[in-house]
Structure formats: structure tokens, C-alpha cells
Amino acid sequence: MSNHLYDALIAPNTEGTSCFLETDKEEISFAAFTSSAAQMAHVLVDMGVKPGDRVLVQAPKCAEMVMLYAATLQAGAVFLPLNTAYTRDELAYFVGDAAPSMIVCAPSAESELSALAKAGNASVLTLDKDGSGTLSSAAKEKSKHFETVARDAEDLAALLYTSGTTGRSKGAMLSHANLSSNAQSLVTAWELSRDDVLVHALPIFHTHGLFVALNAALMVGMRVKFMNAFDIDKILAALPVSTLMMGVPTFYTRLLADDRFGREVANNMRLFISGSAPLLAETHEAFTARTEHQILERYGMTETNMNTSNPYRGARVAGSVGMPLEGVEVRVTDPSTGAPLPDGEIGMIEVRGPNVFKGYWKMPEKTAEELRENGFFISGDLGQFDENGYLSIVGRQKDLIITGGYNVYPKEIEDVLNDVDGVRESAVFGVPDADFGEKIIAACVAETNSTIDQSALETALAEKLARFKHPRAFQTLESLPRNAMGKVQKNILRDSFDG
Ligand code: MCA
Ligand code: AMP
């Protein structure tokens, strides 16, 4: 039976005896991985998961979660991973919106998610950080052979939520072909091969750790040093016996901040790749001075997978995200008219190609706003091409903060703050941060004759929003600076922030 993405990524590895996932406790071969995935696919189908159903996963990073991803594809279902930091309120939205037929969560979240699952009749299984739980125990009983469910290139493979300027998260619908074509482009661009050894310390609920890293690794059959989180000691131990690392800029600033990191540690490495947030030119340069390696920066989005990359062979330009990947078209347009602009001019970055998603889940109007009829996706990022065809991102039209590689839309935080007693209005903005790139600051204006109680703000935020979205400092202002149109001038707040 043909299943587009499973056939591209997983089926070729069925007989592989070499190691795929190397964890703290074991080495899992490709063959063992595909057998375990097949057992999990039986569990899903036996519990009623049908082709096209969503399998929602909020579980700690572990090898079994990658097996579940493969199992979901093999069963013809749609993988929907969620950030482990999300609160009950956030989860309630995702469960309601995506209507999954299966939820897999940490044992500690089982009762909460079971309550949410009831409304939609979803089944619930557990998966803990050591791989144990009801999912794995049910899988053990199953056959290691599973008749792969047929899926076409245009069928959905994954639903990844990305927050938006309106405050409501949108589910980006990614097809089998979106993911396979992008993995292939990355394999070609970065000359990935089964001889590579990848240091994997990213979370696997986002595009970067899941698709950029794992789809590409599966496609070529490379070994992955699979770590639960970014732990500098483990990274320093792994680099001398690895060839490849993918990280957000915070990974690189943390490595540079450690005196143990230098040329010797990086000697065996072939390539360091950065993405998800801007890599400062000074980080790029300091890294080269320390190691003689030039970090390769690339640019992507949840909706489009990866769009551009600095070249593997050729100049890697600090402050630039490189050139369009094979098969991907990138243009810069006038934000008000949509007309393409000549090189050198700053405008809206638009992307078209087999990598571009199918639209937002159950949000046809949003899809129509951001995806042009001619197939170009309007990124919300502002950029310019130079005379050599290198793209630079110079700003964002969307009001977005990127902290440690996580995207946070101020509107979502402002909505929570504005509901707290005594708050008339608020404005949330990002300021530079040495570790996370940007950190979140909230400015609030009190109602007349009221004062703002910071602990009430913190309590409201703790209830509603994941910790990484919480402001790290609060300001109380008499009023918010506004322009003639009444729009809050966040640049003024940012420039006058002192702290
Ligand atoms: C953790 N905390 C954060 C973040 N991470 N706060 C703001 N921003 C963050 N990114 C908070 C915790 O809640 C905690 O708060 C404190 O910081 C320390 O937490 P800890 O878990 O120890 O942090 P860490 O392990 O040091 O994690 C930092 C990290 C991690 C390694 C930068 O956030 C990370 O792996 N980020 C990668 C995100 C990613 O994969 N993005 C790709 C998205 P407290 O102690 O105060 O309670 S995909 C994408 O963007 C596109 C498509 C693309 O192009 O790739
Ligand atoms: P996400 O919401 O996780 O899909 O994040 C996508 C956004 O991350 C893009 O629209 C950019 O604003 C940003 N981004 C990703 N890679 C880079 C990069 N290399 N430099 C600057 N911004 C980036």
C-alpha cells in the first residue's frame, strides 16, 4: 500500500541494523524503531483511530514519542504534537479545535486530559519520559508487522499549531508532500548522509526538532544523539563524536559562554545549523573565531517548513538567511499592493512551493488572508535580497516576540492582562536578552482610582498561559504611547524600557 511520507522516511529503514536513536539508556536500531512503530500503529487502529483522525500528543521528549509519530503516519492519521508547557486552558482550546480521536499525554496530565477528552469522545493513553505508560504496555502485546494505510501526497500528515496576531492559535495543515519535499530539499542542500551523527537537543513538538531534524535524519538513515533537553555538559560530550547540530541561536550563545567550548570540541563536526530566530552577526563571528566553523543559518516557518538556507558550499553570510531552497520560490513584495519589488528593496517575504501548507484548520478566512490564490504565502516577515541573491530578514510586520526560539504573540498575553481587575489596558513587547534573544515585558495602565497588583497579573498568567509566555518584567504607566492612528507605539516602549 502506498503511503507517501511513510514510504519516503520510514519504510526504507525497516531492515536497518544501524543505530537510529541513541538515548541516555539505549541504542535503538532502525529496524527496532520501525517494529515498535508498527506495534503502536496497531494500538492506534485497535482503539478506533481512522485515516485522517488527529492523534494529539503532549508528552515528554522520548524515543517512544518519535515511534508514535511514525506509527501515526503508518496508520494514516495526522500527528498533532503540543508544547509540554501548555496549561489546561490552552489544552482545552487545542482539544476542542482539533477534535482528536486519540490523546497521548504524560501520566501526570492524564486526569486533566481525560476530562477534556470526554467531550469529544477521544481515547487517552499515557507516555512518560522513560517511555513507559499505557501506550507502550499496550504496544508490547501487538504484532511487529502492520499493514501500512494508504495515503496520498496531498493527504494531511500533521497539524501544528502556531499562535497568531489575533491571539488565537491556528492549526497549520501539513501534507505528506509538504514534509517529504522539504526533507529532500534539506538533504540535498546540506549534503546529509547516513554517515552523519546529529546532536538533537531540540523539543520535538515544533517544526525544527521534529521535521527539520528528524525527517531529514530518517530520510538518509543517520544516527541521532537524542537528548531530553539542552544540557551543556551533554552537548559538550557529544560534539567530539558527532558531525551535525541543529539549534536555535540560544544554543550557540550558551556554547560560546562556556570556556570549555572551542576548536577541539568542534573538530569532528561537519556543520552547525541555526534557525527559528535571528542569529546575531556577532554570534556568527564569535563562533567562527572560536571554532573556525561558520554557522549555517536558515529560515523557515511552521506553515512553510524551511524556505531558505545559506549554502553548504559557498559563503555563509552573517545576518543573512541565504537563498531559496531547491523547489522553493521566495519573493519580496510591496506590503500594501503585493507587487514584487526589485532586489535591494525591503518588503514582505512571500513563499511558494511544495513546502507551503494546505491552509489553517477550520479557518478558511485566515487561510485566504495569508495564502494568495497564486500559491504565495504571506509570511509576515520583512526582508530584502542583496545583489548576490541572499535574503536578509530585517523586521516583522506581525507583532511577534521570539524568545529562545519560541514564538509568542503579544496579543495573547495582553488579552489575559486586560482581564485582570484594575487593568485598563496593556502592551506587551520584547527587549533584547543575551540568553533568549528577546525577553517579554508587559506595560499596564491602571483603571482610574485603581492600582495594579503584580501578583494578580502573575496569577492570571499562570492559570492561562505557558510559562515561557510570561513577561519577565512589568511596568505600570500613566498611558500607552500612541500614534495618530491610535496604534500603540511599541518601539517607544521598547526604546524607553530600562531594566
Ligand atoms: C524555557 N523558559 C523559557 C524558554 N524556555 N522562557 C522563555 N523562552 C524560552 N524559550 C523558561 C522556563 O519556563 C523556566 O522558567 C526557565 O526559562 C528555565 O527553563 P528551562 O527548561 O531550564 O530552560 P532551558 O532548558 O534552558 O530551555 C531554553 C531553550 C529551550 C533551550 C532555549 O527553550 C529550547 O529548546 N528552545 C527551542 C525552541 C524551538 O525548538 N523552537 C523551534 C520552533 P522559570 O524558571 O522562570 O519558571 S519551530 C520554528 O520556529 C520555525 C518553524 C523554524 O524556523 O524552526
Ligand atoms: P513559527 O511561528 O515557529 O513558525 O516561526 C516562524 C518565524 O520564526 C518566522 O516567520 C520568522 O519570523 C522566525 N524565524 C525563523 N527562522 C528565522 C531566522 N533564521 N531568522 C530570523 N527569524 C527567523
Burial-class residue 17 by CB neighbours within 10 Å (0-12, 13-18, 19+).
exposed
Strands 401-403 and 54-58: unpaired
* Nearest by Cα to 104 from 90, 119, 91: 91
* Among 393, 398, 408, 468, residue to substitute to test ligand 2 (most atoms within 8 Å of Cβ): 393
Residue closest via CA to ligand 1's atom 44 equals 467
Strand residue runs (E) in 335-400? 347-352, 377-385, 391-396
Q: In angstroms, what is the span from residue 260 Cα to ligand 1's centroid?
A: 23
Closest atom of ligand 2 to 207 CA is 3
Q: What is the number of residues in the chain?
A: 499
How many beta carbons lie within 10 A of that of residue 121, not counting itself?
Answer: 9
CA–centroid distance, 129 to ligand 2, in Å, is 28
- DSSP for residue 388: T
pLDDT value for 146: 98
Residue nearest to atom 20 of ligand 2 (CA): 278
Q: Whose CA is nearest to atom 21 of ligand 2?
A: 278
d(CA 340, CA 385): 12
Residue 163: its pLDDT value, please? 85
Residue whose CA is closest, atom 6 of ligand 2? 301
Report residue 292: phi and psi, to 5°: 70, 5
Query: Is 206 close to ligand 1, i.e. is its CB under 6 Å away?
Result: yes
* Residue 249, ligand 1, Cβ within 6 A: no
User: For the chain, which residues score pLDDT lower than 50?
Assistant: none
Q: Is residue 357 within 6 Å of ligand 1 at its C-beta?
A: no
Ligand 1: atom nearest CA of 408 is 8
Give the largest CA-CA distance in the chain: 72
Cα end-to-end distance, the chain, whole Å: 60
Which helix (H) or strand (E) covers residue 185, if one does?
A: helix 176-189
Pocket of ligand 2 (CB under 6 A): 162, 275-278, 297, 299-302, 321, 379, 381, 393, 396, 402, 407
CB burial of residue 171 (10 Å; 0-12, 13-18, 19+): buried
The number of the ligand 1 atom at minimal distance from the alpha carbon of 298 is: 54
pLDDT of res. 417: 98
